[in-house]
């Protein structure tokens, strides 16, 4: 992995469900970690291959290995009005070496 390509700062978040003051479940997103990432839109052949396995995948986000990242998490990029959210469809650990994660994601409209 080339560190120069990891030029974006993203937050990896997971959903936490806790009861509110009335006992109803209240869902909030909690920051797991903020990491450097490479965000690439998939195009052409890559997009075709990814969509055959995971429908709707349109971004590949590459980060250094981080334990606990899975399909229940999301990626947040940017801040303020330009904040973007990516749902993780798959978290791939190439060769199971725990060096990097390739996250196949779909951008979520807010």
Q: In the chain, where are the structural domains located?
A: 3-108
Nearest CA-CA partner of 38 in 74, 12, 6 = 6
Q: What confidence score (pLDDT) does residue 30 get?
A: 95
- For residues 1 and 64, the answer to whether their CB atoms sit within 8 Å is yes
Q: What confidence score (pLDDT) does residue 18 get?
A: 84
Which tens digits make up the pLDDT trace of 41-97? 987 676 667 667 666 779 999 999 999 999 999 999 999 899 999 999 999 999 999
Domain covering 3-108 assigned CATH 3.30.70.141 in the classification: no
- How far, in Å, CA of 85 to CA of 73, rounded? 11
């Amino acid at each position: 992995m080339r560190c120069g390509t990891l030029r974006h700062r993203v937050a990896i978040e997971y959903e936490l469900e806790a009861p509110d003051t009335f006992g109803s479940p209240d869902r909030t997103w909690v920051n797991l970690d903020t990491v450097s990432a490479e965000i690439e839109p998939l195009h052409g052949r890559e997009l075709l291959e990814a969509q055959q396995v995971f429908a709707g995948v349109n971004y590949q986000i590459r980060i250094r290995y981080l334990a606990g990242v899975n399909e229940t998490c999301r990626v947040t990029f940017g801040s303020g009005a330009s904040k973007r959210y990516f749902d993780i469809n798959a978290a791939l650990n190439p060769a199971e070496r725990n060096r990097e994660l390739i996250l196949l994601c779909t951008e979520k409209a807010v």
